[in-house]
Amino acid sequence: MVTLHPTPNHLESLPIKMFEYMAAGLPVIASDFPVWRDIVDRFQCGLLVDPLGALHSFLRHPSGTRGHNARHHEEATTQDAFGGEASAEREIGEIEVVRASGIDHEAMPALVSSCDAVACTSETEGWPNSVKEALACGIPFVATDVGDLAAIAQTEPSCRIAAADPEAFAKGLCEVLTSPLMRVLRRHVESMDLPESSQQLKSLYDELLKS
């Protein structure tokens, strides 16, 4: 899913993530921008949606969205995963879901820190940046089994891995929201900060020059 908002920087952009999905043979759900429309129509590789209401319109009317080759099981998985919101509300009361799209980078730390948990419902993912940012702010996650998140969840009682279906995801979300908040979560991403990463890269180049 690549549903960036129609800001000037996004309208002419070519996001790497979209091409990674295409290379993996996965259909994309993308904002209906002219540049992206040419790509999706030419290669018949996904759906084009209104980015300002993409998720809700797609989940309610998946057959009415512009595009090609959307596989039924992927539509169902996306719908099921986000259906966990309603299931969790039945267990612990009202939940406010904030989707961080179109927000300035400078505002993200304050936004993430104001949340009680972050949710990642990707079917495939490397090391999701949204979860890295949450951990850096000391915020726990509930996520599908992608990247290294399962290893973290095994050692952190405030984090959960859940299957991409409503009941399992709702159960994980309830457990995260009712677990004690662990502010030591930042330790999982401290080695990824810019000075540390720069030093690691410099050390690598130093070793290569010596050899």
pLDDT over threshold 90, residue 48: no
Cβ atoms < 10 Å from Cβ of 23: 8
Q: H-helix or E-strand containing 67?
A: strand 66-67
* Residue 42 region by backbone torsions, left for phi larger than 0, else alpha for psi between -120 and 50, else beta: alpha
Which pLDDT belongs to residue 72? 29
Which pLDDT belongs to residue 140? 93
Q: Are residues 111 and 186 in the same domain?
A: yes
Q: Are residues 53 and 120 in the same domain?
A: no
Q: Are residues 122 and 177 in the same domain?
A: yes
Tell me, yes or no, whether 187 lies in a domain.
yes
- Least confident interval from 53-62, 102-111, 152-161, 193-202: 53-62
Distance CA 29, CA 45 (A): 9
Q: Are residues 66 and 98 in the same domain?
A: no
CATH number of the domain to which 162 belongs: 3.40.50.2000
* Pick from 192, 82, 183: nearest CA to 140: 183
Q: For residue 48, which phi and psi values (nearest 5 degrees)?
A: -115, 130
Domain range spanning residue 141? 94-192
**Which band of pLDDT confidence, cut at 50, 70 and 90, is reported for residue 66?**
very low
Distance CA 107, CA 123 (A): 27
Q: Is 134 helix (H, G, I), strand (E, B) or coil?
A: helix
Tell me, yes or no, whether 173 lies in a domain.
yes
Q: Are residues 114 and 64 in the same domain?
A: no
> What confidence tens digit (pLDDT) does each residue in 73-86 have?
233 333 344 455 55
Q: Is 160 helix (H, G, I), strand (E, B) or coil?
A: strand
pTM (global) more than 0.85: no
Residues 6+ apart with CB under 8 A from 11: 33, 34, 35
Tokens of 111: 């936004």
